[in-house]
Homo-oligomer: A and B are copies of this chain.
Amino acid sequence: MTGDRSMCRVTAGDVARAAGVSESAVSRTFTPGASASARTRERVLKAAEQLGYRPNFIARSLRARRTNLVGVLITDFENPWPQMALRHLVSALQARGFHALLFDVEDADSLAGIVPLVLQYQVDGLIVGAADVSAAIVETCSATGTPIVAFGRHGRRRLGISSVASDDAAAGAGVADLLFERGYRRFAYVAGEGGSLTWNSRGRGFVRRAAALGLDPVQRHLSGETSYEAGGRAAARLLGRLPRPDAVFCQNDVLALGFLDGARDDFGLNVPADLAVVGFDDIPAAGHRPYRLTTVRQPVDAMMDATAELLARRLEEAAGQGEERLLPTRLVERATVRPG
């Protein structure tokens, strides 16, 4: 009998009958701020309790034109950082009364294809992580008036998109400063893929500051993907030819870990004496004893909270430009850069 879905559903009408009031009274009892006398409220609550009634969100959403559902679209799902981000995001949304409708997006292209589907669920908003929001998507969403908040990278504010990101440019510059101060002089930057605004700002801040410090141009390597293995390949490439860099900044920790292991195992380099390696994100493995990776910590928790907040704000004051929030990072010094 467990599975008979049709029979056991308790509606407001049932409660109304049991409590001897109208359906409206039941509805008002469950609508904060609605006018209902204490006596009615009490009777309704008792009847509801007995019958196990809870308002049907689907019906409520239909009438209220508001679902409290937020579509969450994440592309880089297999990487640790987006996963950490997701966890905090879900909490932050829950704390604000929203709920996450989660979609896995294979690649950036399929994002545009999934958006219409998400909109069919009448989500109140969309949160897009670690992916570029194309103009097509913006158009689709603005047709239904659904706000978008991006996290992990900026851009498209003009189109009404809010976004939250860490201050990658400043972080990149900070890494350059640190490495310079500790006596490293030949810098390299390892990126996963091209095209991303964040990666660009991360690397750009680094490259610019290096130039400002009067160093030789930073060697750049594009690994094609952000994985441990790709980090190892990057090491093989960058360290295999002279002049060899003596300090490498990687676009994220996973790459940095791969690079670090490659540098040590395949080239017998001593880190941090011969080579400095700096990552980005501060994933759990970065703190493991074989690594002790010096890295840039993104304030995941604060970022995701800001993301939820910007969405909530967008929902209140409908129109207008998007808001961009830039959060400061923190340099976590461990053991892959010489101490000062």
Instruction: Report which A residues bind B (CB closer than 8 A).
Output: 1-9, 52, 54-59, 61-62, 65, 67, 69, 72, 77-78, 80, 83-84, 87, 90-91, 94, 99-104, 116, 119-122, 142-147, 160, 228, 257, 261, 265, 284-285, 287-291, 314, 317-320
Contacts and interface: CB of A to CB of B under 8 A. Distances in A.
A2 B58 contact: no
Contact of A2 (B59, B87, B102, B142): B142
B99 A94 contact: no
B103 A102 contact: no
Contacts of A104: 87, 90-91, 94
B99 A99 contact: no
A3 B99 contact: no
Given A3-B318, A100-B101, 9 more contacts: A4-B318, A5-B318, A7-B145, A8-B145, A56-B122, A57-B121, A58-B61, A69-B121, A99-B102
B5 A120 contact: no
A240 B140 CA distance: 63
B145 A5 contact: yes
B147 A52 contact: no
Residue from A62, A101, A288 whose CB has the most chain B CB atoms within 10 Å: A288
Contact of A58 (B3, B9, B54, B62): B62
B319 A116 contact: no
A143 B100 contact: no
Contacts of A160: 2-3
Residue from A8, A102, A261, A318 whose CB has the most chain B CB atoms within 10 Å: A102
Contacts of A291: 290
A290 B286 CA distance: 13
A72 B102 CA distance: 10
A90 B62 contact: no
A57 B122 contact: yes
A145 to B, nearest CB: 4
A57 B120 contact: yes
Contacts of A102: 72, 90, 99-102
A104 B7 CA distance: 30
What 10 pairs across the A-B complex have the smallest Cβ distances? A3-B318, A290-B290, A5-B145, A261-B289, A3-B319, A2-B160, A83-B83, A90-B104, A57-B120, A102-B102
A319 B1 contact: yes
A42 to B, nearest CB: 20
A288 B261 contact: yes
Nearest to A83: B83
Contact of A320 (B3, B101, B317): B3
A335 B3 CA distance: 49
Given A1-B319, A2-B319, A261-B288, A54 B101 contact: no
15 contacts: A3-B145, A3-B160, A4-B318, A54-B119, A56-B122, A57-B122, A72-B102, A78-B87, A87-B104, A90-B103, A99-B103, A228-B284, A228-B288, A265-B289, A285-B288
